[in-house]
Amino acid sequence: MELLKQKILAEGRVVGDGILKVDGFLNHQIDVELVSAMGKEIYERFKNDGVTKILTIEASGIGLAVMAAQYFGCKVLFAKKSRTTNMGNADLYVSKAYSFTHQNENTVLVSKKYIQPGEKLLIVDDFLAHGEASRALLDIARQAGAEVAGVAIAIEKGFQGGGDEMRREGINLYSLAIVDSMDEGKIIFREN
Residues that bind a second copy (CB under 8 A): 23-24, 28-33, 35-36, 58-59, 62-63, 66-67, 69-70, 73-78, 80, 110-111, 113-114
CA dihedral for 18, 161, 94, 119, sign (positive or negative) = positive
> Measured between alpha carbons, how far is 127 from 177 in angstroms, rounded to an integer?
10
**Shortest distance in whole angstroms from residue 65 CB to a second copy:** 8
**Shortest distance in whole angstroms from residue 154 CB to a second copy:** 14
**Shortest distance in whole angstroms from residue 192 CB to a second copy:** 28
Residue number with CB closer to a second copy (20 or 62): 62
Return the axis-axis angle of helices 32-46 and 62-72, rounded to nearest 10°.
Answer: 50
**Shortest distance in whole angstroms from residue 76 CB to a second copy:** 4
Residue number with CB closer to a second copy (2 or 23): 23
Residue number with CB closer to a second copy (35 or 128): 35
Q: How far is CA 67 from CA 31, 39, 140, 166, 184, in A?
A: 11, 5, 22, 24, 34
- Strand 147-157 relative to strand 173-181, pairing: parallel
Nearest CA to 111 among 133, 96, 88, 89?
89
Residue number with CB closer to a second copy (66 or 149): 66
The kind and range of the H/E element at 153 are strand 147-157
**Shortest distance in whole angstroms from residue 30 CB to a second copy:** 4
Kindly provide the b/e burial profile for residues 31-52, where b requires at least 16 CB atoms within 10 angstroms of the residue's own CB. Answer: beebbbebbbbbbebbeeeebb
Residue number with CB closer to a second copy (43 or 163): 43
Residue number with CB closer to a second copy (53 or 130): 53
**Shortest distance in whole angstroms from residue 31 CB to a second copy:** 6
